[in-house]
């Protein structure tokens, strides 16, 4: 028997609105926003199930109990928590210029609701953030921190108004909201034009070798400048999407690398500079699509000078729908001491996407959840989304490269809309505490639902179930220590189950 409960996690309900994309958004404004208070594991012998669905459920809670004797029904899972895999670092989003512009376009009260929705204990509890080093396409102009001076000593290096207005203040406000210490990762899209062969931010261009040292110093100066403002970084990457800068037709801010050229820069310049100034800040290489792995990392690690500085690899999701996750597992098997982090994801980026922003799209939520489950089941340790917030067009973006976001801002009404993608992310970030371990399980029949099994630091267990079928399912948990329980999994839904 499943009973509704309302005393385990206090929740303010979603105010739904439909825009014709198959499901609903939740509307927030200066006076109201839905919340979900911290979730405590239930008493031993019980479980709590949280469900979000295409039909409009958002973190709907129910409670049930384990039984010693029960006949399994539907999909059956058996858990073996004695076999553990990688530790989960967390989940988050990016503090882009565009995100800052949109958040700050709201009233102060709406801003607070938005930031708390992501980072507070009443929100989905993000603990990771990504910060661009300079501009990206999600800026209102193309810029770097040394545009006006071609001096390799970087005497003219300085942060810009975008840092002081949009990035630094919001990072600090997010940190104030969070019970976690937010781990920040920094990535550079392009160095100053004068360092590149094509002398442009976009297009086919690589780093001129005489500026290898200057570009390493550029990263150090960025970390120094943010440290002066009271912000430290957990990781940096060796550059956003290095393959983009090798494309003849490329409108994105980019710097082209091959792994051969990049490993020379890492081993002789970036690595030593970071080791001297920021030894505890990790370095992630790759920062590109699955299809470059494990080859890219293998080529970097063949250079002993570079290999000593690499802590892990960063991967993006944009072609995951055709590139299998087995490449992630192969990367881990080849380099088991290096962790894998997903550092960018967004929807609406493809030329064939008729709608860059699809308010209420449940398919986009399902695709996010499916990708996170597949990625973590193949050794990824965390998942960072792209822009924290965009406008209804999917921008601003200085090259008109609009995409979707889990939160869309309508500043004319002083509203923002929590997309189904927001709740899909929350089914992971809210419940999977940093330090959780993926655990062994078996599911039969296979390929009916997508599942993920973890054990949190408090020893409670988490099961995440994605049902993309057009019908409800029964799902039986078989646990040798606790007994069995039969759950109802609604059609087109994401469930998170927690129990001791």
Active-site positions read: 241, 344
Dihedral of CA 368/374/377/381: which sign? negative
Alpha helices in 144-247 (DSSP H): 161-162, 168-177, 212-228
Alpha helices in 129-228 (DSSP H): 161-162, 168-177, 212-228
CA distances 250 to 74, 234, 292, 321, Å, are 49, 30, 18, 22
Radius of gyration of the chain (CA): 23
Return d(Cα 463, Cα 461) in angstroms, integer: 7
Q: Write out the DSSP string of 81-112.
A: EEEEEEEP-EEEEE--HHHHHHHHTS-HHHHH
- Residue (of 446, 500, 492, 453) closest to 473 by Cα position: 492
> What phi and psi, each to the nearest 5 degrees, are found at residue 415?
-130, 160
Q: Write out the DSSP string of 261-281.
A: HHHHHIIIIIHHHHHHH-TTS
Alpha helices in 229-355 (DSSP H): 259-265, 271-277, 295-301, 304-307, 326-334
Return d(Cα 44, Cα 372) in angstroms, integer: 28
């Amino acid at each position: 028997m499943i009973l509704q409960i309302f005393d385990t996690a206090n929740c303010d309900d979603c105010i739904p609105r439909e825009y014709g994309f198959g499901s609903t958004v939740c509307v927030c404004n200066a006076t109201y926003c839905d919340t979900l208070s911290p979730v405590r594991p239930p008493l031993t012998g019980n479980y709590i199930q949280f469900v979000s669905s295409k039909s409009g459920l958002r973190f709907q809670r129910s409670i049930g109990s384990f039984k010693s004797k029960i006949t399994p029904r539907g999909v059956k899972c058996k858990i073996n928590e004695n076999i553990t895999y990688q530790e989960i670092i967390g989940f988050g989003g990016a503090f882009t210029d565009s995100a800052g512009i949109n958040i700050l376009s709201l009233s102060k009260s709406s801003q607070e609701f938005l930031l708390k929705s992501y980072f507070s204990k009443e929100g989905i509890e993000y603990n990771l953030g990504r910060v661009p080093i300079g501009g990206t396409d999600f800026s209102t102009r193309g810029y770097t921190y040394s545009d006006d001076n071609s001096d390799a000593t970087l005497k003219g290096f300085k942060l810009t108004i975008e840092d002081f207005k949009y990035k630094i203040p919001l990072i600090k406000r997010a940190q104030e909201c969070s019970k976690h210490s937010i781990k920040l990762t920094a990535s550079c899209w392009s160095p100053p034009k004068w360092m590149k062969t094509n002398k442009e931010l976009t297009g086919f261009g690589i780093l001129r070798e005489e500026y290898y040292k200057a570009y390493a110093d550029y990263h150090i100066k960025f970390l120094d400048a943010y440290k002066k403002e009271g912000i430290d970084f957990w990781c940096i990457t060796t550059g956003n999407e290095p393959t983009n800068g090798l494309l003849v037709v490329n409108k994105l801010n980019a710097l082209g690398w091959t792994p051969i050229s990049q490993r020379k820069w890492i081993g002789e310049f970036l690595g030593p500079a970071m080791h001297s100034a920021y030894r505890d800040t990790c370095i992630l290489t790759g920062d590109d699509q699955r299809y470059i792995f494990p080859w890219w990392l293998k080529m970097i690690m063949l250079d002993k000078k570079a290999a000593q500085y690499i802590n892990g690899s960063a991967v993006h999701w944009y072609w995951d729908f055709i590139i299998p996750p087995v490449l992630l597992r192969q990367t881990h098997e080849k380099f088991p001491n290096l962790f894998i982090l997903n550092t960018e994801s967004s929807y609406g980026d493809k030329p064939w996407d008729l709608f860059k922003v699809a308010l209420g799209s449940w398919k986009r939520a399902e695709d996010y959840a499916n990708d996170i489950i597949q990625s973590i089941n193949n050794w990824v340790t965390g998942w960072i989304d792209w822009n924290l917030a965009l406008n209804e067009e999917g921008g601003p973006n200085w090259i008109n490269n609009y995409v979707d976001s889990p939160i869309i801002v309508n500043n004319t009404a002083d509203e923002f809309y929590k997309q189904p993608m927001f709740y899909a992310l929350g089914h992971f970030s809210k419940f999977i505490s940093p330090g959780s371990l993926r655990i062994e399980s078996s599911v039969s029949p296979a390929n009916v639902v997508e599942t993920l099994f973890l054990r949190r630091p408090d020893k409670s267990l988490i099961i995440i179930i994605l049902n993309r079928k057009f019908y409800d399912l029964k799902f039986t948990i078989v646990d040798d220590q606790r007994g069995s329980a039969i759950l109802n999994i609604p059609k087109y839904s994401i469930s998170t189950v927690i129990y001791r």
